[in-house]
Amino acid sequence: MTLIDAFENFLQYCRFEKALTNQTIQDYKDDFLQFQRYYPEKKEVKDLNKDDLNDFSYDQAINGLSPATIARRIATIKNFYMFLESDGIAKNIISDEIILPKKEKNLPKVLSEEEVQSLLNGPDQSTEKGIRDFAILEILYSCGLRVSEAVNLQISQINEQEEIINVFGKGKKERIVPIRKSALKALKRYINEVRSKHLVIDKKNVFIAKNGKAMSRQAIYNVVVKNAKDVGIQKEIHPHTLRHSFATHLLDNGADLRVVQELLGHTNIGTTQIYTHLTTKTLVKSYDLYRKD
């Protein structure tokens, strides 16, 4: 059987038995076309062998394709090979170990210290909304909180005398995080001048919506996005961006990695180490900017 006929049978199977979408079918066709371009000499099913997928994967990598694209193309051809074997059209053509390039780690987006300051300066603190927004932005950044931790933050968790907050993170794991004076002042002002004047149903929670219940994740997300837009920050931003920025700025200013791990509540230090890549990028950029050729 010719390879083209065999692949057409595979597409028919995908279309009518697996009910895959037209877009997926088109993606399969595109991937197979790339496979044919790499193996123009393979005309018949009998020409296929166990080395095909690894050789194809290697060629795609040295030609600069992303690991995600390579993985998708290999998955397409592997599915095709599995179809051939299950239908008895071919035998022993799938390698026991298919080598794929390692996926790139997506480094988190962070704000510069100047951008953070601009964001914090944004809310109009002559209004109740501005006072609330400033308190939210301050606590997210200065304590590196997850949005869920800000949503669930309770008044009893704030220790004004010690200038710390007790945070309950993933799995209810407790950690102690210092809170800088500006954030503590912002919280106190919000609680005393805004929260205390309105209906409060969820009395334990710090951040309260108009209906008296705890603010939702979406509401806090909206606060971050709107204020960033208002001050002209062009980057895609969300509450976790402030947590990423908190960690990166600590490391930039000489904090120990283990300390940052504790402040973030990471169980595995490997999770925290991703921020060292960001600080390394900053060093390289600074070197390139100021070096004398």
Residue 286: pLDDT band (50, 70, 90) is very low
Catalytic residue from among 73, 132, 146, 195: 146
113-290: CATH superfamily: Intergrase catalytic core (1.10.443.10)
| Per-domain residue ranges of the chain | 3-86, 113-290
Residue that is written with structure tokens 């005309």 in the block: 43
**Best CATH choice for the domain 3-86 from the list 1.10.150, 1.25.40, 1.10.3470, 1.20.58:** 1.10.150
pLDDT higher than 70, residue 214: yes
**Mean pLDDT in residue range 191-207:** 94
Residue that is written with structure tokens 């180490």 in the block: 273
Residue 278: pLDDT band (50, 70, 90) is low
Residue 290 annotated as catalytic: no
**Mean pLDDT in residue range 218-230:** 95
The mean pLDDT of the chain is 88
Catalytic residue from among 132, 195, 243, 249: 243
Q: What is the dihedral of CA 204, 207, 209, 214, to 10 degrees?
A: -40
Residue 244 annotated as catalytic: no
Give the pLDDT confidence score for residue 287 in this predicted structure: 40
Catalytic residue from among 15, 72, 175, 240: 240
> pLDDT, tens digit, for every residue of 16-65?
888 899 999 999 999 999 999 999 999 999 999 988 998 888 888 777 78
- Give the percent of the chain with pLDDT over 90: 61
Residue 266 annotated as catalytic: yes
Residue 275 annotated as catalytic: yes
> pLDDT, tens digit, for every residue of 56-85?
888 887 777 888 888 899 999 999 999 999
**Mean pLDDT in residue range 237-254:** 89
Give the pLDDT confidence score for residue 169 in this predicted structure: 80
pTM higher than the cut 0.85: no
Residue that is written with structure tokens 């208002």 in the block: 230
224-227: long-range contacts, CB 8 A cutoff, minimum separation 24:
224/136, 224/137, 224/140, 227/119, 227/122, 227/123, 227/133, 227/137
- Distance set, CA 46 to CA 1, 34, 37, 54, 93 (Å): 8, 19, 18, 18, 9
Give the pLDDT confidence score for residue 40 in this predicted structure: 92
Residue 243 annotated as catalytic: yes
Catalytic residue from among 170, 173, 213, 281: 170
> pLDDT, tens digit, for every residue of 124-174?
999 999 999 999 999 999 999 999 899 999 999 999 999 999 998 876 788
